[in-house]
Amino acid sequence: MNSSRTREVIVVGAGFAGVGAAIKLRQAGADFLVLEKADEIGGVWRDNTYPDCGCDVPSAFYSYSFAPNPGWTAFFSKQAEIKAYARETAEKYGVMEHLVLGQEMLTAAWDDSAKCWRLQTRAGTYSAKFVILACGPMHVPLFPRIKGLASFSGTCFHSSEWRHDFDLRGKKVVVVGTGASAIQFVPKIQPIVQQLTVFQRTPPWVLPKLDWTISKNVQAVFARLPFTQSLLRKMLYLQFELLNLSLRSRWLIKGLQAIGRKNIGRGVKDPELRERLLPDYAIGCKRILMSNTWYRSLAKANVQLFGGVAEIQGSRVIAADGQSCDADAIIFATGFEVADPPIAKRIVGSSGVPLSERWNGSPDAYLGTMTQDCPNLFLTFGPNLYTFSSSFVMLEAQLKFILCAMDAAKKQNIASIAVRPTSYAAYNKKLQAALAHTVWNSGCTSYFLDRHGRNSTNWPWTTWYLRRQLERFQADAFTIEHGATPTELIAAAP
């Protein structure tokens, strides 16, 4: 199974999930390729280059446990440093030789006769017994449907596709959205624009960001005494596990909200503006944000805050309450296609139906890692695996399970692995029951809930519980077909 386009495993995507998968596959001696549509690796940290783009998870925790970086220069790292870490780690662990850059997967279809996946690219067909989708949920920009948007006479772009060739200085700029990207770039562009108008449907809860520079001396300690950084990581893990659990406690939620209200008061003195910035929902119902500059920037003389956008007429942007402003540029800080990932349209499983049709805007999976009708296909950061800050913990748990499943297939002469419908239904029923009374399902509008009102995003339990569930391949939850996959059938792409 070693022709140039035939592999035991194909990984789609070379962000942190794809790089991590490649490292583990290489260590296991697997025959694999990584297909990446762009000309370099990095995923979300390659694509997002807006001003002050950075991570809201501490650097020591936003990294692979097996590849610590003692050289982080700040407690919360910025985009360029995170992207560099991804590249350096890929090079260190020999991933680059398995990469095929500039190769976008157009479709992936299950070939039941050969018990393998056929992946179409513009360069031709790739075949693999197993596929790992490592594309990530924060990948395809989401643009709101706004009446008259096509009539806008200025420049518009999404924050994840920042126009560095467009000079914002002295311009009248509209920002649509007040999510994670907006609270980072708005304070940076506010001083240079003539007028900044922020359109906000719902205010976010924004807590102070306890950030600081990591000195060279501390970096040296981490490098010479690795257990110190490992201890810090363990402390952060415990802290975030407790934070996740605290969102089930009303009095702890009230405590966090008090911190959020104080953060507003520190940055905004105008009582009317403070009132408009105060959320009317429980903290945690939407993504919790962190910033020390967001509120101060909104209080500046050249900034105005409007409600949601209703319509655009030429250069004029009109809010739902009738307020309007002229704009030279519109920046959409409106997030990503989380519940309707376009890649789902490209996946055709054993029934011949695209995954997008089966999901119908409400993604689900078994332990966030395998979905129905898709034998031998594994997801990373799949449905209902979102936590506030433990993405690498979740990823490494998934990769352990995936490698265990592949190892079982090799040792037990297994041709295909698919989740049993009964296991799938029981798991998702238990999952939704656990989510029903959490703060994430408490009534606000957020990307946590899909268009059907179902929570297809959050993980309701501890990450320790997920790690326990994924620590080994439990064959009784799956339908297994035995028999070696004929090499000549895999290699014979249609």
> d(Cα 145, Cα 147) in Å, to the nearest integer?
7
Whether 242 maps to a domain, the answer reads no
Confidence grade of residue 248 (pLDDT, cut at 50, 70, 90): confident
Residue 1 has pLDDT above 90, yes or no: no
- Tell whether 342 and 366 lie within a shared domain: yes
Could you give the percent of the chain with pLDDT greater than 90? Answer: 90
Give pLDDT tens digits for 60-94. Answer: 999 999 999 999 999 999 999 999 999 999 999 99
Contact 79, 49 (CB under 8 A): yes
- Of 268, 297, 332, the residue that ends a domain is 332
CATH number at residue 48: 3.50.50.60
Give pLDDT tens digits for 273-312. Answer: 999 999 999 999 999 999 999 999 999 999 999 999 999 9
Whether 220 maps to a domain, the answer reads no
H or E stretch including 155? Answer: strand 155-158
Residue 166 has pLDDT above 80, yes or no: yes
C-alpha atoms less than 13 angstroms from C-alpha of 151 in its C-beta half-sphere: 11
Residue 349 has pLDDT above 90, yes or no: yes
**If you average pLDDT over every residue of the chain, what do you get?**
95
Whether 224 maps to a domain, the answer reads no
13: left (phi over 0), alpha (psi -120 to 50) or beta: left
- Tell whether 461 and 356 lie within a shared domain: yes
Whether 222 maps to a domain, the answer reads no
Residue 363 has pLDDT above 70, yes or no: yes
Give pLDDT tens digits for 131-164. Answer: 999 998 888 899 999 999 999 999 999 999 999 9
- Of 332, 349, 374, the residue that ends a domain is 332
Whether 442 maps to a domain, the answer reads yes
| Helix and strand element counts for the chain (H, E) | 14, 20
Question: Rounded to two decimals, what is the model's pTM?
Answer: 0.95
- Tell whether 70 and 113 lie within a shared domain: yes
Give pLDDT tens digits for 381-417. Answer: 999 999 988 899 999 999 999 999 999 999 999 999 9
Q: How many domains does the chain have?
A: 2
- Of 332, 356, 384, the residue that ends a domain is 332
Residue 432 has pLDDT above 70, yes or no: yes
Show the tokens assigned to 216.
Answer: 């060279």
Confidence grade of residue 200 (pLDDT, cut at 50, 70, 90): very high
- Tell whether 88 and 198 lie within a shared domain: no
Range of the domain at 409: 6-140+337-491
- Tell whether 346 and 326 lie within a shared domain: no
Confidence grade of residue 341 (pLDDT, cut at 50, 70, 90): confident
